[in-house]
Amino acid sequence: MNELTVDSASPALRAGGVIAYPTEAVWGLGCDPANEAAVLKLLQLKQRPVEKGMILVAADLAQLEGWVRIDALPAERRAEVLASWPGANTWILPAGPRAPRWITGEHTGIAVRVSAHPLVAALCRAWGGPLVSTSANLAGQPPARSRAGLDPDLLRDLDGLVDGATGGLDQPTPIRDALTGHVLRT
C-alpha cells in the first residue's frame, strides 16, 4: 500500500483507487463518487451492500452542487444545515441529478458533510470535489480510531493511505435528515 500526501492522493483517486485517511472521529475509506467501479471496489473491501448508500464529504458547499438539492429544503431547514457547516455534521439531503444509484443505494437522498477537518477538506480541495467517506473497517466491525487500529487485511487491498490524526471526536458525526431534522445516528 502506498503512502500518499494530499496532493499525490488525487492521481490515485483518478485511477479508480480507494484510499484511507483520518476523519473527524475515525479512519475513513474514500474514492471518487462518480466512478462506479471505484465505489463497488470500496463496497467489496468493506463487505457492505450498495443498498445502504454512501456518505460524501466536501470542502465546501459548491463541491456538492449537482450531487444534492439543498434548494429543495424549506428556508429554515436549509439555514440550519448551512449554519452547521463546515463542521462535524452529516445531513441527508435530497439527491441531485449527478447522484447515481451506487451512491444513493435504495434511498432518495444522500448523506453529505462539509468537513472542518483540515486533512479531509484539503483532500477534497486537491481532488476538486467530494469524496466517498465511510469508516475504514469491515461492515459490522468497530471503526478504526487510529492508523494502528486499521485492519491489516483491509490495508493490503487499498491503493493508498494519507497519514494524519483524526479530529478527536468520541463518536462518528451525527447523521440527521435535513427535511425533518430527525436524528438517524447520534
Which single residue is written with the C-alpha cell 469508516?
A: 135
pLDDT value for 12: 96
SS (H, E, C) 98-145: CCCHHHHCCCCEEEEEECCCHHHHHHHHHHCCCEECEECCCCCCCCCC
Average pLDDT taken over every residue of the chain: 96
pLDDT value for 186: 83
| pTM exceeding 0.75 | yes
DSSP code per residue over the chain: --EE-HHHHHHHHHTT--EEEE-SSSEEEE--TT-HHHHHHHHHHHT--GGG--EEEESSGGGGBTTB-GGGS-HHHHHHHHHT-SSS-EEEEEB-TT--HHHHTT-SEEEEEE---HHHHHHHHHHTS-EE-EESS-TTSPPPSSGGGS-HHHHHT-SEEE-------SSPPPEEETTT--EEE-
Give the pairing of strands 55-58 and 109-114: parallel
139-169 pLDDT, tens digit each: 889 999 999 999 998 999 999 999 999 999 9
Q: Can you read off the three cell numbers belonging to residue 165?
A: 490524526
pLDDT value for 10: 96
Where do the domains of the chain lie?
Answer: 3-185
Assigned CATH topology for domain 3-185? DHBP synthase (3.90.870)
Give the CA count within 13 Å in the CB-facing half-sphere of 77: 17
32-61 pLDDT, tens digit each: 999 999 999 999 999 999 999 999 999 999
pLDDT value for 139: 85
pLDDT value for 133: 96
89-128 pLDDT, tens digit each: 999 999 999 999 999 999 999 999 999 999 999 999 999 9
